[in-house]
Amino acid sequence: MPGISLRRARTIIRKTMDKGREMGLKPLSVVVVDAGGHVIAFERSDGAPAGRFDIALGKARGCVLMGMTGTQLRDRAEQQAYFVGAAGAALGDKLVPVPGGILVKDAKGRLLGAIGVTGDTSENDLEAGAAGIDAVGLVAEG
């Protein structure tokens, strides 16, 4: 089964953090999950608040379990907050519906997993994370 190797997950995280520094963002935290929403790798930058793992995981896990990008989840939440809230509860309270949750696909469009980026504005989180996914030759859908 295609998937994201640990080596690639590490590179996605580093390149996302590099991009964040280049953009002048606040300290980022980044999680990479597989197609089942299970954690492959996570790093929290020095100086980031303690609770970053759960927010990052909520972004990534929500995406991959719902098959929607963070942006799509945010748009749906704007229209039907009760639906996204209930879906999050049904999925174990780990669905944070904002940009920065990014689907990871291969060149053939197969879903490999997702990443969750948090630390700055949702839009900046997304831009940094997309650069990280690009850097390993995979396709970001955010």
Is 44 an interacting residue with respect to a copy of itself (CB under 8 A)?
A: yes
Quote the CA–CA distance of 119 and 48 in Å, as a whole number: 7
Is 28 an interacting residue with respect to a copy of itself (CB under 8 A)?
A: no
Quote the CA–CA distance of 103 and 129 in Å, as a whole number: 10
Exactly one of 35, 102, 130, 131 binds a copy of itself (CB under 8 A); that residue is 35
Quote the CA–CA distance of 93 and 29 in Å, as a whole number: 20
Exactly one of 21, 22, 23, 38 binds a copy of itself (CB under 8 A); that residue is 38
Q: Cβ of residue 12: shortest distance to a copy of itself, in angstroms?
A: 12
Q: Cβ of residue 118: shortest distance to a copy of itself, in angstroms?
A: 10
**Per-residue interface string for the shown chain with a copy of itself, residues 84-123, x marking contact by CB under 8 A:** xxxxxxxxxxxxxxx-----------xx------------
**Residue 123, SS3?**
helix
Is 142 an interacting residue with respect to a copy of itself (CB under 8 A)?
A: no
